[in-house]
């Protein structure tokens, strides 16, 4: 995927996350944010390595998201809490997988349509 498209995807994902937080309360923005966080990591992986296979980008993005979540079982430095969170929440692990799977599916669809 070309870097400019990956960059635009990152911006669009952040805009979607901010829009969801502005429009809804409760669990919707929280769990949508989890999925979008992983989708953003996926897009960053594709931006850094444009020829990465979709399943590899999905595994890396889900793995990093899970690593960050499990790190919350320990102490996250105060300065990093806005970015990494501070409280372990098991359902987040599911939503990270959803974000990685949705990103992989969208990437595969884009690759098939491009061909």
- pTM score: 0.91
pLDDT at residue 115, as a whole number? 76
Q: Are 7 and 47 in contact (CB under 8 A)?
A: yes
Per-residue tokens: 34: 């989890």
Give pLDDT tens digits along the chain (115 positions): 788 999 999 999 999 999 998 999 988 888 999 999 999 999 999 999 999 999 999 999 999 999 999 999 998 888 988 888 888 999 999 999 999 999 999 999 999 998 7
The residue extents of the domains of the chain are 3-114
pLDDT at residue 61, as a whole number? 98
pLDDT at residue 98, as a whole number? 98
Angle between helix 3-23 and 27-48 (nearest 10): 170
Question: Measured between alpha carbons, how far is residue 27 from residues 5, 61, 62, 97 in Å?
Answer: 30, 22, 20, 17
């Amino acid at each position: 995927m070309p870097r400019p498209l990956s960059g635009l995807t990152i911006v669009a994902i952040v805009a979607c996350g901010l829009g969801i937080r502005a429009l809804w309360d409760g669990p919707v923005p929280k769990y949508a944010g989890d999925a979008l966080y992983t989708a953003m990591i996926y897009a960053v992986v594709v931006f850094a390595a444009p020829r990465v296979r979709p399943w590899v980008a999905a595994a890396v993005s889900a793995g990093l998201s899970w690593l960050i979540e499990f790190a919350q079982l320990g102490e996250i430095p105060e300065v990093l809490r806005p970015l990494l969170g501070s409280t372990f929440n098991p359902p987040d692990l599911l939503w990270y997988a959803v974000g990685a799977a949705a990103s992989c599916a969208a990437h595969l669809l884009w690759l098939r349509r491009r061909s």
